[in-house]
Amino acid sequence: MADLRWIEDNELSEKWPFWTRANVGEVLPEPPSPLGWDLVWEEDTLAGWYDCAVDRMGYGDVGMNPRRPEVAGMFGGYAYLCATGIRLFGVRTPGMTAEDIDLAYFGDHPDVPPYVHEDWHDSAEGTAMLAGWLGWVMGTMEQDELEADRLDGLAARESRPDLTMLTDAELLARARSFKSLVRRMFNQHINQSGAASVGPGVIGTVCAALGQPTTAMKLFAGLGGVDSAAPSYAMWELSRQVRSSSSLTTLFDLGVVGLANRIRRSEDPAAAAFSAGLDAFLASFGSRGPNEWDIHAHTWETDPDLALAAIDRMRLAGDDTSPLVENEVREQERERLSAELVEALAADPETQGQFQAALASAKVFVPGRERSKTTIIRVIHEVRMAVWELGRRAVAAGHVDEPRDICLLFEDELERAIAGELDGIREIVAQRQAHHDWLRSLEPPFIINGAVPANTEWPKRGESSVDVARSGDSLVGNPGCPGVYRGRARVVLDPSDPTVLKPGDVLVAPMTDPAWTPLFVTAGAVVVDVGAALSHAIIVSRELGIPCVVSATDATRKIRDGAEIEVDGSTGVVTLL
């Protein structure tokens, strides 16, 4: 495929040598599509990230490329986070270090290169800007921008026209019309993400000094208003309808494939009521789904069976396992522990004040980070829906096999296609689909430092050998949510196919995003191959109060499906029983 056009790789430089799949692997777990990169990432999200770095984080002097800023980029067809730049945040933020950043993103991962200081890392002006930013994070905590974004995101969805009535040119114009909004919202998302790390960092330091390091995790639980948990609560209510209806139970027992259509065709009153509830759910949360940042990927609206797969698992759980009840328990525990620790710090008013400010900050910005993501995903979904309508027309014309195939074109090609000036669309799409499939078969390096091996040298996924854990063996990851739980491990590699997961099982997954988190309601504990300090796995497990371990490298390959295991969310240790 010498003439294959694909997304251009970034250029690795001596100034920005360290890149990683940490964190970004949860955002773009698969190779992004050409149109997804063009319409959403290249000019919108990366530009918004650049705006935040320069205007809020004090990076104006570091000479980032404004077209392809060294915040995130592309290597070998996969997205990477620039760890050099993230370390810079630690260096320039008062009270933080590069090592603090490494701990949050990598834990004790053995391949992380040691931080080496360079003169350009220091900046009095940048540090002064970050000091002012910290005054907002730990002081005023005003969230007017976030709320304005939320309202604009809702308006984008609510004002969606009948897309079938728009011309091709109008559909493309609608998809492009969200560029500036996505750029602004991603600026805010990075702002919220940075702010969400500050309060928990202070809380962790204080709890460690008091000899209670695991208590810190409990102080981030039951915060409420966590938008990534909200779909789980709504799904739970739908699952109760299924559990109480014999006719719905029969429809679900036939399997998830085609379930939405079976429910909508049914004349049973319970099915009609459930269908109305499902439509309301999709109107609110239909933008979510596996790999939701790429407009090439299905979401709950484009394939409702994806959401029904999670509801199918929830319906098996008893009413006494309600996630709302669990959240209330976590909230009460958090408030009790907070009061106890504030009292314990009474002899040190300065530390006590910092601790109280950190508690308040975490309560604002941990949910704020999730809200900023929910909002931007809602807008990106509007781009998807406009593009997929063009895709449906391309299917009718015989150019592609399914609507999302249109995302294998680049933006300029899509413009030419709707103008009737692009020949051989089917051949172009077929070639790129084959290349995308090949990229998906690869295991990208977790860390790139100084040199990028050609992707033709990358191993195939699952090709490298690992020793399967045996009775008595332990896997060590990072603690996510405290507590000890013993149960049967269920290795789930795709959130759209969780049929092996039963109530009380331990969910063992490669990574998690909001498409995975409804499965937490059924699980007794969660173990994840990768995940950072503020990953969705951690945030949602703390809302639901289930033990969680992240960064348990190769857990999905080392733990046999069905094995009895113990998960210690306080220490990060997973033991085969």
Please tell me whether residues 490 and 433 are part of one structural domain: no
Q: Is residue 466 part of a domain?
A: no
What total number of domains does the chain contain?
Answer: 2
Please tell me whether residues 434 and 547 are part of one structural domain: no
Q: So what's the pLDDT on residue 92?
A: 95
Query: Do 404 and 291 contact (CB within 8 A), yes or no?
Result: no
Query: By three-state DSSP, how is residue 74 classified?
Result: strand
Please tell me whether residues 571 and 487 are part of one structural domain: yes
Q: So what's the pLDDT on residue 496?
A: 80
Q: So what's the pLDDT on residue 55?
A: 95
Please tell me whether residues 86 and 176 are part of one structural domain: yes
Q: Is residue 302 part of a domain?
A: no
Percent with pLDDT over 90 in the chain: 76
Q: Is residue 263 part of a domain?
A: no
- Tens-digit pLDDT profile for residues 476-505: 988 888 889 999 999 998 888 888 899 999
Q: Report H helices in 165-178.
A: 168-177
- Tens-digit pLDDT profile for residues 225-270: 788 888 989 999 999 999 999 999 999 999 999 999 999 999 999 9
Please tell me whether residues 35 and 154 are part of one structural domain: yes
Query: By three-state DSSP, how is residue 500 classified?
Result: coil
Please tell me whether residues 55 and 119 are part of one structural domain: yes
**Mean pLDDT of the region 182-210:** 93
Please tell me whether residues 434 and 493 are part of one structural domain: no
Query: Is the confidence at residue 2, as pLDDT, over 70?
Result: no
Residue for token pair 């490494």: 102
Q: So what's the pLDDT on residue 228?
A: 80
Q: Is residue 569 part of a domain?
A: yes
Query: Is the confidence at residue 534, as pLDDT, over 70?
Result: no
**What's the domain range around 563?**
474-576
Please tell me whether residues 82 and 139 are part of one structural domain: yes
Q: Is residue 392 part of a domain?
A: no
Q: Which residues of 304-326 are buried (b: 16+ CB within 10 A; e: fewer)?
A: bbbbbbbbbbbbbbeeebbbeeb
Helix (H) or strand (E) holding 75: strand 72-75
Please tell me whether residues 33 and 129 are part of one structural domain: yes
Please tell me whether residues 478 and 434 are part of one structural domain: no
Query: Do 70 and 64 contact (CB within 8 A), yes or no?
Result: yes
Q: How confident is the model at residue 1 (pLDDT cuts 50, 70, 90)?
A: very low
- Tens-digit pLDDT profile for residues 261-273: 999 999 999 999 9
Q: Is residue 533 part of a domain?
A: yes
**Mean pLDDT of the region 140-168:** 97
**Mean pLDDT of the region 282-296:** 95
- Tens-digit pLDDT profile for residues 17-67: 999 998 888 889 999 999 999 999 998 999 999 999 999 999 999 999 988
Q: So what's the pLDDT on residue 324?
A: 79
Query: Is the confidence at residue 535, as pLDDT, over 90?
Result: no
As to burial, measured by CB atoms within 10 angstroms (0-12 exposed, 13-18 middle, 19+ buried), residue 455 is: middle
Query: Do 424 and 415 contact (CB within 8 A), yes or no?
Result: no
For the beta carbon of residue 472, count every other beta carbon within 10 angstroms: 8
Query: Do 5 and 90 contact (CB within 8 A), yes or no?
Result: no
Q: So what's the pLDDT on residue 515?
A: 76
Query: What single letter denotes the amino acid at residue 188?
Result: Q
Q: Is residue 69 part of a domain?
A: yes
Query: Is the confidence at residue 342, as pLDDT, over 70?
Result: yes
Q: Is residue 49 part of a domain?
A: yes
Using CA atoms, how far apart are residues 76 and 79, in angstroms rounded to an integer? 8
DSSP 295: T
**Angle of helix 144-158 relative to helix 349-396, nearest 10 degrees?**
20
Kindly report the CATH number assigned to the domain that includes residue 512.
Answer: 3.50.30.10
Please tell me whether residues 429 and 556 are part of one structural domain: no
User: Average per-residue pLDDT in the chain?
Assistant: 92
Please tell me whether residues 426 and 568 are part of one structural domain: no
Query: Is the confidence at residue 459, as pLDDT, over 60?
Result: yes
Q: So what's the pLDDT on residue 313?
A: 93
**Mean pLDDT of the region 165-171:** 98
